[in-house]
Amino acid sequence: MPHSDNDTSQSPQVKYIQIEADQAGQRIDNFLRTALKGAPKSLIYRLLRKGEVRVNKKRIKPEYKLQADDSVRIAPVRLPQKGEAAPVSDSLLAHLESAILFEDDRLIVINKPSGLAVHGGSGVTLGLIEAVRKLRPDARFIELVHRIDRDTSGCIMIAKKRSMLRFLHEALRERKVTKVYQAMVVGRWESSDQHIDVPLLRVEARSGERFVKVDSEGKPSFTEFRVLRRFGDLATLIEARPKTGRTHQIRVQLAHEGFPVLGDDKYGDFNLNKELKRVGLKRMFLHAHKISFQHPFTEDQFECESELPQDLSLIFNE
């Protein structure tokens, strides 16, 4: 069981994992990244090289593909600790339970609240995925299908089966998953329908802060936009349908075109953001509104939708 040894207060123990049919087919190095949460790649490859991870009592190479009923033995290993994980409060668990938009034995879709990172790390000790594992402690497999920014609210998918994770990752790569966002941007967007196609590059400032910019050396990004409602010359509510999945894609594309997202503290209009806080907009106006794809098992069109949360819809009344 990949998540069976969460107690870090005791000395590391030998770990035995029996591979189930749903886990078969993946490389052992990728499997260990899930089984040994927080382990750097260098540690995983060192364990494999030294024979401290064995399958059916034999040494294996990183490219070995697991088979159903394989027995994986992992020698005692102490993972690097960045501090104790934050406890998951009962109130957060109750909120997430009520925020579940869809759940079956393969998939969960959650209406993620703004301000909650999708996973711990980079100074964040608690994320959505850690909380969902607490929410579903008996689930053998809980993994993020994709990510949305910490300040973005709305639909996010979490796989409960590796087969579903593989299917959705392939569907995302082949652009067979439709993701629809709603955003309020600064200024009057004249064109009813428009697309933005620019290369995006991830960079790191001298301060260590990471951000994304439009750069010819970057990777291609493509998003379709449609106007939903104009508020004079002040702001425009738009719909965004990203066809690629670059970090901060929608936010950077809009800022590059001169229409930054309201409340965006990284790429937005900082002076305007201060004014907006005074009238009630406390965070970035970006919401993952809808997600849809053809279900691999029922072959029906699966669709999940989340309406604008109250803290965003209130701005319409200002």
Contact partners, residue 20, CB within 8 Å, separation at least 6: 68, 140
Tokens of 86: 């934050």
Q: Is 235 exposed, middle or buried (0-12, 13-18, 19+ CB in 10 A)?
A: buried
d(CA 216, CA 87): 43
| Annotation says 149 is catalytic | yes
Using the Cα atoms of residue 174, residue 176, residue 181 and residue 186 in order, give the sign of their dihedral.
positive
Residue 123 neighbours by CB under 8 Å, 6+ apart: none
Read off the amino acid at residue 69: D
Give me the catalytic one of 29, 70, 149, 151: 149
Q: Residue 303's CB: how many other CB atoms inside 10 A?
A: 14
The catalytic residues are 149
